[in-house]
Structure 1
């Protein structure tokens, strides 16, 4: 069956069109080369962290208006040299024996299109060899003898072979784009953040301006009234997520920034399908805005870059890990260092919003100091610090004892939560006998603690936990034995 000739059909080998064959063939080859060049051309660059145009928004991982790090179009755009990436590849292959190009790209968190030509160059330099073919025009690589020798020497200097580091200047720009100074929580935001706490509206009215300042505040008052609970929920009033690098690279030194023990990862949802169309730099990780709590274990070393001499990888200090979030100094005044040492270390960063850190090489770097610092203490702030420091912490909020009505409501809420039915008569007995008579102050933590005493006692007696005068008497006798 013969159809009409195609527009791209080859000309006959003889006849009147024979002379035009070379010209038409050249045009066809030229068009093929043009199409190939267009498909291989890198995506037009855009400013670091800028949002793509509307056509590229489909499948975009970031929430509307959320800053994100765009995928680099080249190694220089990623702030990396070929030798830095080669070193990571060699150390990874030395540890794993073999890996495909895509596995390597996934491990060091760089696009495969940047790794593939680098692997070909390393093969030409006889650092790696093809062990087998892999799917999707890829190969399984293994080290040659020369590559293994070089990898061992590199590992002796620094054993790190994880995600490729992010340059310091990119991290500084990311903090500026996600700063808490641009977050202005409203009454509704605070109500949502503290929805699981019974908190006085007057307290929220004082907390609101302090949180909006993004600078710092003192929470002081008697123990057991929820200062730490309040401090831990402050971050919820800000935007939910921020992006941070897994590690920072500064003049050949590596600083680990992402810490799973302090940061809660919040991965973006996959776009689905065989190909991942998310144009995000995988060297960064999306986390919930950090809330880092340090207490009596805080030392001066925790505030400086610390070098692990076994791996030659440095660890970021707590203030760097808490950037764009909240840093809570719990039990302030009970640290292993004096309050003067801590305050002298931070008096300039609190004022200027940047800090200076010393690297193991002796180099000093300037980094953002962008977090809300909450000093939580049972002591009077004026007894701990001088006027110069108090001026830099403009908000001092006392967390007062709950009223009797609030205490009763706390018992009702905690009873429902713990499965102990509220009993008005038993609560009246508790308050009259064990609070009014001895002049004992109410504390916000006591309803929970007393009910837990009752639950444990009833389990021991094989009874259903209940609020009764006898059970409250037993709980009070244990709880306030030396108080």
Structure 2
């Protein structure tokens, strides 16, 4: 590339940059990235000038870069740089991917951006220093970037705090590491201070997210803003046999984002239906690993309840180029299920008396998702106590929680509440509570056609070939003759009985009248 060509590219880039200031942050960033890539490409070409083939290669590289750097390129189209130097091409493409967060945010998707300064973290130097000293007390010597990986903050922020800690003689250099990094070891003065911090709280994981940022994230990802169409519901329930009329009743209830009663006889799939409702939204959300509120650490992310979405690794050596704040976790919209074991303690912030780490209540962990109260009416806590606890949150869409410090905070109550029960709702709650649950949907018994479809679906899963004659024998002899109602769970349960019978007798798995007689005798012996 000649000097005139370089000047031409620079002038054109500046002209486009000045003309796009009114197009918003995304457009501005796209142009700035084009300038950066053009500059990097020229630097790369200049580094080849000493080689005999530099002129020919320069012209070829210049044409390639020019072809992939149109000055009026649409922002929605991803820029891809292709050249002989594959390593540099990958770096160009990763730089371009840094703008992905801005474009997603412009489309209404929440993306937690990595903080670039201490102020953007919402934390103080002392709060970060506490985490670092407690971590070094437990691990001994660690490099600066290992500390960053532990507390999930950028090296540029942590490095300044480590240097201050060294000046205060809380840590000392233990050796050198890569890219201007050092190994840090805790001093005796630092150990003494870290022990005092540990007595207050043992936590030294990911740096907490401030409460203000959490509220903004929940508002941006609210389940009330999601819409589920008939096609979405059919996709979510594709592995179930469900009555079309019931599906039509579920659709408006799901879109309400409020709450519903699922009631009906035991075994008709109420829990299975509740578990799949969240899938109808078909999206993921970002939640913080933990919150920091006035010194209290409250854990939000729970691997036992949340399904983490594995992120694509965007790293170049020691650098993370994803642009995502690692203090946040991307999860599938949560579905939290609490059965008869639910107690009032699980609906409040609880603090471990030894570690002083707080655990978020179930309704906070289910925000922007679904909270299923299974077997409603059979909890260890009285029904009236549960209803009184939630009668205001169900109406106002927010809740009040008490911190261990005594402070009361207002948090979003933003989930689809599903009360699943085989008892009559009117026998469990009063009219005031029923008014706050706008949808009451009964899980009806399957018809004979649906009952057969369930057998045809489950038989191959159990290793059987569906037998029409055996099925008709079962229905005529053990259902119609004794006026026994169909239940959605019975095909699976009866087939499992037959499977275990065949395994015990060491005979091929086959559906026969004799096998169904054995299964029915066991299954319905006290029913």
Question: TM-score if structure 2 supplies the norm length?
Answer: 0.81
- Matches of 1:204 and 1:190 in 2, distance apart? 8
1:52-67 paired onto structure 2 within 5 Å? 53-54=29-30, 55=33, 58=97, 64=104, 65=107, 66-67=109-110
Q: How does 1:265-414 map to 2 (within 5 A)?
A: 265-274=308-317, 275-414=319-458
CA distance in 2, matches of 1:51, 1:70: 18
Which digits, 9 at most, give the CA deviation of each residue in 1:292-339, with x for residues without a partner?
000000001110000100000111000000000000000000000111
Shift of 1:240: 2.0
TM-superposition CA deviations, 1:415-450 (whole Å, max 9, x none): 022211011110010000000000000000000000
Question: What CA deviation, in whole Å up to 9, does each residue of 1:442-462 have, x standing for no partner?
Answer: 000000000000000000111
Give the structure with the higher percent helix: 2
- Distance (Å, rounded) in 2 between the aligned partners of 1:69 and 1:224: 42
1:327-375: CA deviation from partner (whole Å, max 9, x where unpaired): 0000000000111110110011011110000011110000000000000
Could you report, residue by residue, the CA deviation over 1:173-208 in whole angstroms, capped at 9, with x for unpaired residues? Answer: 100000001101001110111111111111110000
Alpha-carbon distance in 1 for matches of 2:96, 2:338: 40
Q: How far did 1:111 drift?
A: 0.4
Q: Is the 8 A contact 1:185 1:211 kept in 2?
A: yes
- Residue of structure 2 equivalent to 1:145: 188
Q: What is the rounded CA distance, in whole Å, between the counterparts of 1:345 and 1:211 in structure 2?
A: 23
Residue correspondences, number: 436
Structure of higher RCO (CA pairs closer than 8 Å, 6+ residues apart): 1
Q: Give 5+ residue unaligned stretches, structure 2.
A: 1-23, 34-94
Question: In the TM superposition, what is the alpha-carbon distance from 1:61 to its structure 2 partner?
Answer: 6.7
Distance 1:265 1:88 in 2: 24
Instruction: Decide whether the 8 Å contact of 1:227 with 1:376 is kept in 2.
Output: yes
Consecutive unaligned residues of structure 1, counting only runs of 5 or more, are: 1-45
Provide the C-alpha distance between the structure 1 equivalents of 2:29 and 2:219, rounded to a whole number of angstroms.
Answer: 22
Q: Deviations over 1:149-170 (max 9, x none)?
A: 1011111111100111111111
Partners of 1:240 and 1:454 lie apart in 2 by: 40
Q: Identify the match of residue 301 of structure 2 among 258, 269, 276.
A: 258
Which of 160, 182, 185 in structure 1 is aligned with 2:203? 160
Q: Per-residue deviation at 1:53?
A: 4.4
Paired residue secondary structure (1:343): helix
Deviations 1:376-397, CA, capped at 9 Å, x for gaps: 0000101000011101000000
Distance 1:304 1:454 in 2: 46
Residues 224 and 147 of structure 1, relative CA distance in 2, 3 Å threshold: same
Map 1:181-260 → 2, pairs under 5 A? 181-260=224-303
How far is the alpha carbon of 1:81 from its aligned partner?
A: 0.1
TM-score, normalization: structure 1?
0.88
Q: Partner of 1:25 in structure 2?
A: none
Structure 1 distance, partners of 2:241, 2:281, is 20
